[in-house]
Amino acid sequence: DSIEKGGYEHFMMKEIFEQPRSILDSMRGRLELEAGHLNMGGVRAYERKFVTADRIIIVACGTSWHAGLVAEYLLEDLARIPVEVEYASEFRYRNPIITERDIVIAISQSGETADTLAAIELAKSKGATIFGICNVVGSSIARATDAGAYTHAGPEIGVASTKAFTAQVTVLTLLAMIVGHKRGTLSDTKLRELMMELSNIPSKVEKALLLNTEIEQMAEIFKDVSNFLYLGRGYNFPVALEGALKLKEISYIHAEGYPAAEMKHGPIALIDENMPVVVIATKDSSYEKVVSNIQEVKARKGRIIAVVTEGDDVIPQMAEFVIEVPATSEVLTPLVSVVPLQLLSYHIAVLRGCNVDQPRNLAKSVTVE
Ligand code: AGP
């Protein structure tokens, strides 16, 4: 058992630390920096479909759905295709409008999630093209799709998904770059810049993992609270949702992820001196707005834990705790900013004596509807 865990106490920790590698493996053979091109076998065969698609519908559940939300930002930003992200379980019971010109992207780590599989079958029956992004080779979803791309995260044992998420986001980023370039919405120069920056992500994730001890100490302070709020905007909004889900799953602390600006429409009422608020506030196009959101939380005495870009000298004056992550391009931010949130939930759960690898009531793949 301890050999399988590679010396780590839990699979989840091993998997969090594997991310520099699993992200690299998910780009291997696809991102060819020197030659200056991107390759993805599954996309090549359906290139025309992607270039002419009216819209893309993404279906997934849980963490994979959060990766889908990141993909919505990526595909709209880089490829200018309208995207809808659907919970697979809702999609099929809603009589959705699907046409032959739609591409449905199904995202699943296990490739066995019953709701996602059922959504695929429905979309197929309406003539849509189905593109799968799975981690498990030969899984039911991988077999049910017309084409796809595997995430090469390696086996994920911990029920709480970590390295599968970053691998999914990596593959979806490559997809958005390829499609954007083919559609002419992503210039050669911008493509080149993003390729360079994407190839730097494994070492930036490595750097973010150095925060482990600092985050463990922070976990000690927050381990006994009953609620947490996670806020983010833009690319960091899905990251806020993912951070909250991780905490709920393994520590059984109630946590909510929210778009930072939506807070004033309700959740702000929850904030008092007992409410820890994790704000993902990296230097990007919504930075100034997020700073205002932090001020709103601070004015109500919320306890701010801010994830910021290295060298930020504004937010540290406002937040109780600051976690510094390396700077990267805005579109690649989730790959780095999610890492400290994974570590925070892990350490809080361990300190609370929870079974992090097999949390109560949860299964690694949900094969029932
Ligand atoms: C993630 O931490 C969860 N355990 C869960 O939400 C999971 O992502 C969801 O069940 C979807 O699974 P899949 O990716 O295997 O389809």
Q: 160 CB less than 6 Å from ligand 1?
A: yes
Q: 249 CB less than 6 Å from ligand 1?
A: yes
Query: What is the C-alpha separation between 54 and 75, in angstroms, rounded?
Result: 12
Q: 61 CB less than 6 Å from ligand 1?
A: yes
Q: With CA atoms as reference, report the closest residue to 160 among 28, 283, 344.
A: 344
- Report pLDDT digits (tens) over 205-257: 999 999 999 999 999 999 999 999 999 999 999 999 999 999 999 999 999 99
- Report pLDDT digits (tens) over 278-302: 999 999 999 999 999 999 999 999 9
In three-state secondary structure terms, 205 is helix
- With 70 as the cut, is the pLDDT of residue 80 above it? yes
Q: Which atom of ligand 1 is nearest to the CA of 61?
A: 11
- With 90 as the cut, is the pLDDT of residue 13 above it? yes
Q: List residues bridging with 258 in a β-sheet.
A: 231
What average pLDDT does range 162-173 have in this prediction? 98
In three-state secondary structure terms, 339 is helix
Q: Which atom of ligand 1 is nearest to the CA of 364?
A: 4
Q: 63 CB less than 6 Å from ligand 1?
A: yes
Residue 289 falls in the annotated catalytic set: no
Q: 62 CB less than 6 Å from ligand 1?
A: yes
Q: Which atom of ligand 1 is nearest to the CA of 141?
A: 16
- Report pLDDT digits (tens) over 87-122: 999 998 889 999 999 999 999 999 999 999 999 999
ipTM of the complex: 0.98
Compute the distance from residue 115 Cα to the ligand 1 centre, in Å.
11
List the end-to-end C-alpha distance of the chain, in Å, as a whole number. 32
Strand ranges of the sheet holding 129-134, from the earlier edge strand across to the other edge? 83-87, 55-60, 102-108, 129-134, 147-150
Compute the distance from residue 109 Cα to the ligand 1 centre, in Å.
7
- With 70 as the cut, is the pLDDT of residue 2 above it? no
Chain-centre distance for alpha carbon 123: 24
As a whole number, the mean pLDDT across the chain is 96
- With 90 as the cut, is the pLDDT of residue 148 above it? yes
Beta carbons within 8 Å of 55's beta carbon, 6+ residues apart = 81, 82, 83, 84, 102, 103
What is the number of residues in the chain?
369
- With 90 as the cut, is the pLDDT of residue 143 above it? yes
- Report pLDDT digits (tens) over 312-348: 999 999 999 999 999 999 999 999 999 999 999 999 9
pLDDT at 202: 98
- With 80 as the cut, is the pLDDT of residue 1 above it? no
pLDDT at 367: 87
In three-state secondary structure terms, 79 is helix
Chain-centre distance for alpha carbon 341: 11
| Pair 335, 166: CB distance under 8 Å | yes
Q: Whose CA is nearest to atom 16 of ligand 1?
A: 108
For residue 279, the surrounding DSSP H or E stretch is strand 276-281
Tell me the pTM: 0.97
Q: How confident is the model at residue 365 (pLDDT cuts 50, 70, 90)?
A: confident
If one counts every other C-beta atom within 10 angstroms of the C-beta of residue 12, the result is: 30
Q: Whose CA is nearest to atom 7 of ligand 1?
A: 62
Q: 161 CB less than 6 Å from ligand 1?
A: yes
